[in-house]
Structure 1
Amino acid sequence: MAGHRIYGMSFGSIHPLYVQKVERKDRTRAEVDEVIRWLTGYDEAGLERAIADGRTLEAFFAEAPELNPNAALITGVICGVRVEEIEDPLMQRIRYMDKLVDEVARGKRMSSILRGS
């Protein structure tokens, strides 16, 4: 099965776009990094390596230490599709990350974004 073209995009090229999005709404890179680490289990150094080494989104999630068990609590619509109804596990994880960053940009409280963790 051929993967979606987003799977081959580098995480390092997408991360700055997330940061720009939230900074326009007076939020910070630290908040973006916090939600991504919460979702994926990367520590700060691991996340920095993932940004720097050019790994694809597919590799980023494949090499993630552990998807947060509360990720299934992420619901809502992203790109016109309900994230909880996405069948492809990799696409669902990418959309979870998109949804978390959107919630940061919208000004949601971090405790709510991190699903009470």
Structure 2
Amino acid sequence: MKDTSHHDERIAKMIFGSVYPHYLSKVEKKGRTKEELHYIIEWLTGFNTIKIEELIENKMTFESFFEKATLNPNAHLITGVICGYRVEEIKNPLTQQVRYLDKLVDELAKGRKIEKITRNS
């Protein structure tokens, strides 16, 4: 993947709360629930529903969001293509973490079982 500093900076400065409604809409259109979305966000970051809502309310950037997160030790098992990039090949750690989240949301929307999404099987 050809990372550019401009691309990485743009992702770092994006507000989690501005992207979250798109995540929710995407999964709900496919028959999944807000609770399932929160479950996978908590699996990846350690943030429960109350913390997720607080981060949205405080207009947290992705940079701050992932600085405060406790990334799941199995996050490195998230592989595949999202937004045209192989997540396992992304060099910038923050961009990779954001794409991990994007990939999990995508898998949830595509109907994948939670156990598979959270790499428990």
In the superposition, the TM-score normalised over structure 1's length comes to 0.93
Cα deviation code 1:53-108 (max 9, x no counterpart): 101111110111x1000000000001111100101000000000000000000000
The alignment status of 1:26 with 2:31, answered yes or no, reads: yes
Aligned-residue Cα RMSD (Å) equals 1.4
Unpaired stretches in structure 1, ≥5 consecutive residues:
none
Cα deviation code 1:8-46 (max 9, x no counterpart): 111111111000011111111111111111000112221
Counterpart residue number, 1:79: 83
Structure 1 counterpart SS, 2:74: helix
The alignment status of 1:16 with 2:21, answered yes or no, reads: yes
In structure 2, how many angstroms separate the alpha carbons of the residues matched to 1:84 and 1:24?
A: 28
Structure 2 counterpart SS, 1:7: helix
The alignment status of 1:59 with 2:26, answered yes or no, reads: no
The alignment status of 1:105 with 2:109, answered yes or no, reads: yes
Structure 1 counterpart SS, 2:47: coil
Identity %: 53
Give the one of 9, 14, 18 matched to 1:4.
9
Structure 1 counterpart SS, 2:44: helix
The one of the two structures with greater contact order (alpha-carbon pairs below 8 A, sep at least 6) is 2
Counterpart residue number, 1:70: 74
In structure 2, how many angstroms separate the alpha carbons of the residues matched to 1:14 and 1:61?
A: 14
Which 4+ runs in 1 deviate beyond 6 A? Answer: none
